Amino acid sequence: QDLLHPQCPHPHSPRSRCLRDKKRIGRWGEEYAVRVIKERLSEKYAQKSEGGGCWVFENGEGVSVVVRWLNFEKDVGEGCDILITRYENGVKKDEEFIEVKSTETQYKRHFILTGKQWELAKRRGEKYHIYRVYNAGSKDVELTDIDNLYRRWKDGEITLQPLGIDI
């Protein structure tokens, strides 16, 4: 599947990608991440319902998991793309916040994080994940889960490049 728009400049230069291409690649990565999450949950739970970017899974023992793709209709800018909530007997027990970052290559290791995403990563700690999708749009797609981004930064496991400043 070709993710590039034919009118965008030089398709092999990531810096010259038009916004339409970046959005298409990002959307593909989010769709892929949701598919992976649903497949993983289907190993333990039965899917009970779906609609409007929301999927409900249950295990028949009072545990349910709700997957919400926040950007299903449009990019809402919430600091994460996917929210997974686990309930026991109707009581919320756990939440995971997933931000998907996609690239068409297998080599691009850096990505942009917004201030809102960084703040949510700090606030949610181990519950905040980056799903890095490599080779988006190809049969060789790979997904890497980077958990607890803020702790990894504090521990020196990852580095931050200069941030843009708004005045």
Mean predicted confidence (pLDDT) in 54-73? 96
CA distance readout (Å), 42 to 10, 55, 80, 114, 147 = 41, 11, 23, 32, 22
Q: What is the pTM of this model?
A: 0.85
Instruction: Give the residue-averaged pLDDT of 157-164.
Output: 79
Reduce the DSSP state of residue 64 to 3 states and report it: strand
* Alpha carbon separation from 40 to 43, 44, 164 (Å, rounded): 6, 8, 36
pLDDT band, very low/low/confident/very high, at 1 (cuts 50, 70, 90): very low
pLDDT > 70: what percent of the chain? 86
Four-point Cα dihedral 43, 141, 79, 21, nearest 10: -140
Query: Is pLDDT above 60 for 101?
Result: yes
pLDDT tens by residue, 105-143: 988 888 989 889 999 999 999 999 999 999 999 999 999
